[in-house]
Homo-oligomer: A and B are copies of this chain.
Amino acid sequence: MTKLKKGSRCTICKAKGEKEKAVVFLPHHRLALCKKHFVEWFEKRVEKTIKEFKMFSKKDRILVAVSGGKDSLSLWNALNNLGYEADGFYIDLGIDQYSEDSKKLSIEFSKKIGRNLYIVDLKEEIASIPVINSSTNRPACSACGTVKRYYMNKYAKQLGYNIIATGHNLDDEAAVLFGNTLHWDINYLKKQYPVLREEGGFIRKVKPLCKITEKESALYAFFNNIEYIEYECPFSEGASSIEYKELLSQLEEKHPGTKLKFYADFLRKMYPILKEYERKEQEEIKICKICGEPSFNDICSVCRLKGIIEKASTNN
């Protein structure tokens, strides 16, 4: 958002013969925009991404994974404005003040736009993130991702939704891609697509903000007066994805558009090769012998996690 020259005019207003001042500069798109046209641009870009990757249509019932942060609330707002049937799903992770604040903001936002927000309390389902974290050696974000994916999928099916939409933005996706590329982790790389299709008990998962940067999403929230939780989850500190984000931002600073090109070129050029390869190496989806949810192993990762937590609590 830097480098906006004083007195710059909005590119779209200028084309219409109007003279509105620009408030945003998007160097990688070579666009200077006023507030109104930025919001329009943002929603059009989300719509374009939904169509490009055939994510869903107006007939689908969408459940947005809401964290209370700028990305999930901006996504929910945009989908609502674009006329999609999108409700929210909030998982109370039990992370003290962070969870209390983000839950409150999520509830307030759902009331503001008049859509349902389903709330699930993690400690009633399995255990809070702090308890899970102290019971396992896994990085907090990894265990948290596992349980969120599990309960989102389970409840979306129960509630009759056929699409889960998450607020992952371009910075998130590019950083994860960067990490998976540094380690050439083929199993993760071949799943790095903004649509994970429905199969074997998993419902379709989509990332409509995958071509929207973190800054664009924050600005969209700001212009729409969306109140969101502004501080990071206390467990995310030191996550390697933050290091990769910084590195990519260094490159972006020098060469605007690097992040988008890195991510979009992967999808366009590398992903098809990996998908072709995957056909031969397809993992079989089973049914967890304990809970009956879909799993790549006989026992799903959440049931295994439950076992570990129970063992840890017995030992203490």
Which positions in A face B, CB cutoff 8 Å? 181-186, 243, 247, 250-251, 254, 258, 261-262, 265-266, 268-270, 273-274, 276-277
Contacts and interface: CB of A to CB of B under 8 A. Distances in A.
9 contacts: A181-B181, A183-B261, A183-B265, A184-B262, A184-B268, A186-B270, A247-B251, A273-B273, A277-B277
Nearest to A281: B273
A182 B247 CA distance: 12
Q: Give the most central of A182, A185, A250: most B CB within 10 Å.
A: A182
Complex A-B, nearest 5 residue pairs according to Cβ-Cβ distance, in ascending order: A184-B265, A184-B269, A184-B270, A273-B277, A184-B266
A76 to B, nearest CB: 32
Nearest to A266: B184
A292 to B, nearest CB: 34
Contact of A182 (B186, B250, B258, B276): B258
Contacts of A243: 254
A263 to B, nearest CB: 10
Contacts of A247: 247, 250-251
Nearest to A254: B243
Nearest to A183: B265
Nearest to A276: B277
Contacts of A258: 182
Contacts of A268: 184
A279 to B, nearest CB: 12
A186 B273 contact: yes
A274 B270 CA distance: 9
Nearest to A280: B276
> Which of A181, A183, A243, A276 is packed against the most chain B CB atoms within 10 Å?
A181
Given A182-B262, A184-B262, A185-B269, 8 more contacts: A182-B258, A182-B261, A183-B261, A247-B247, A247-B251, A273-B274, A273-B277, A277-B277
